[in-house]
Structure 1
Amino acid sequence: MPALDALACTGPWRHRHPGEKAALAFGLLCCAVALPPWPGALVVGVAALALLLGPAGLGPRRLVRAVRGPLVFVVVGALPLLFSVGGPTLVRLDPAGAGAALALAGRATAALLCLLLFAATTPVADALPRLVRLGVPPAVVDVAGLVYRLLFLLLDRIAAVRAAQAGRLGFRDVRTTFRSVAGQAGAVFVSAFDRARRMEHGLALRGEPGSLRVMLPPQRLSRRFLAGTGLLLAAVVTVSLVLA
């Protein structure tokens, strides 16, 4: 199981209702999108970061490992705003693009922390079945759950194939590495196709009516948590508008 999913299943907020965590995380996300980049993104980012490192119990090392990949895409998406095309030279630095690049990077980073706040505290197994109550078609929820389950099987398969290739010195140089990676991709594709076909046949033989019903633990919304969420969002909006 990936580290983020393991943390969501064992974290301090594991037994809280997903609706509470969704109201907090997506409320902050709406603030990050709607408020001005400065200082709205900074205030939202600080609030989400404090929640991740504090009540959510993520930890600095896990936080760095979780955000370093998405932050690369944020930087790559912001860098083109520093340049402009045309004029005496084909590509040149645009002094006016620095502000736009910083605004984009700040807003995207704040939104990333808000999404991570929900992902690191809410297991997918708790969130998916409740989507049906929000009007999502059951077939879409079932497909998402099956794909999520299949991902873990594929990750185990990739680890097993890679360990076997490493035991046969399949990564000793560039040539053998490319050959091993190509073989790994082919083996994983065949395994994924075979598992998906067997899963489809199994569901058909069971006579599934079109939805996979699961039993959810009884959970109630905490009025105190929702009230605290409302106060936090109001404070974020107020501070952002005052400092703007």
Structure 2
Amino acid sequence: MPALDEVACTGPWRHRHPGEKAVLAFGLLGCAVALPPWPGAAVVGVVAAALLLGPAGLGPRRLLRAARGPMVFVVVGALPLLFSLGGPALVRLDPAGVGAALALAGRATAALLCLLLFAATTPLADTLPRLHRLGVPPAVVDVAGLVYRMLFLLLDRIAAVRAAQAGRLGFRSSHTAIRSVAGQAGAVFVSAFDRARRMEQGLALRAEPGALRVQLPAQRLSRRFLAGTAVLLAAVVTVSVLA
């Protein structure tokens, strides 16, 4: 199981209602988008990071591991704003783009931390069944759930194939490593295609799309948690506007 899913399933907020965590995470996300980049995005980012490292129990290493991939896209998206086209040189550094690049990177980083706050505290198995109440088509929810389950099966299959290839010295040189990776991709594709076909046949024999139902645990929204969230969001807005 990936580290983020493991934390979501075993973390301190595992048994809280998903609506509470959605109000907190997406409320902060709205603040990151609506408030000025400075100091709004910085305040939101600090608050989201503090919640992740504190009450959510993610930990610094897991936070860095979960954020390093998306942060690559943030950096790649902000770098072009530092350059401009035209003039004596075809491409030149634009001093006016520094502010825009920092603003984009700040907003994107704060938004990323807000999304990680929801993902690291709310398992997808708790979220998908409740999407019916929000008007999401049942077929879309079922497809999303099946794709989510297939990811774990594919990860297990990849690990098994890689272990078998390593046991046969499939990575002893660059040439054998390339051949092993190609064979691994082919084996995983065939396995995934066959499993998806069997799953489709099984679902077609059981029920119509959207007929799958799961039993959800009895959970109530905590008024104290929602009140604390409202106070926190109000404090973030106040500090960002008055600073």
Q: Which one-letter code corresponds to 1:4 in the other structure?
A: L
Q: Which residue of 2 aligns with 1:85?
A: 85
Native 8 Å contact 2:21 2:121 kept in 1: yes
Residues 84-233 of structure 1 mapped to structure 2, 5 A cutoff: 84-208=84-208, 210-233=210-233
- Identical aligned pairs, as a percentage? 87
Deviations 1:146-174 (A, max 9, x none): 11001000000000111111112222222
Native 8 Å contact 2:139 2:209 kept in 1: no
Native 8 Å contact 2:18 2:126 kept in 1: yes
Secondary structure of the equivalent of 1:160?
Answer: helix
Q: Which residue of 2 aligns with 1:46?
A: 46
CA distance in 1, matches of 2:94, 2:180: 44
Q: Does 1:18 align with 2:18?
A: yes
Point out the more displaced range, 85-94 or 152-161.
85-94
Shift of 1:208: 4.3
CA distance in 1, matches of 2:196, 2:68: 32
In the TM superposition, structure 1's runs of 4+ consecutive aligned residues that sit over 6 Å from their partners are none
Point out the more displaced range, 102-111 or 202-211.
202-211
Q: Which residue of 2 aligns with 1:33?
A: 33
Q: Which one-letter code corresponds to 1:103 in the other structure?
A: A
Q: Which residue of 1 aligns with 2:62?
A: 62
Deviations 1:187-206 (A, max 9, x none): 11111110001111111222
Shift of 1:53: 0.9
> Which stretches in structure 1 are left out of the alignment for 5+ residues?
none
Secondary structure of the equivalent of 1:170?
Answer: coil
Distance 1:242 1:176, change over 3 A: same
Deviations 1:110-146 (A, max 9, x none): 0000000000000000000000000001110000001
CA distance in 1, matches of 2:209, 2:66: 38
Point out the more displaced range, 103-112 or 200-209.
200-209
Distance 1:210 1:50, change over 3 A: closer
Secondary structure of the equivalent of 1:190?
Answer: helix
> Which stretches in structure 2 are left out of the alignment for 5+ residues?
none
So what's the TM-score if we normalise by structure 2? 0.98
Native 8 Å contact 2:37 2:106 kept in 1: yes
Distance 1:209 1:95, change over 3 A: closer
CA distance in 2, matches of 1:239, 1:209: 48
Q: Which one-letter code corresponds to 2:232 in the other structure?
A: L
Secondary structure of the equivalent of 1:12?
Answer: coil
Shift of 1:74: 0.8
What is the CA RMSD across the aligned residues, in angstroms?
1.0
Secondary structure of the equivalent of 1:217?
Answer: coil
Shift of 1:44: 0.2
Deviations 1:18-65 (A, max 9, x none): 000000000000000011101100000011011111111111111111
CA distance in 1, matches of 2:138, 2:166: 42
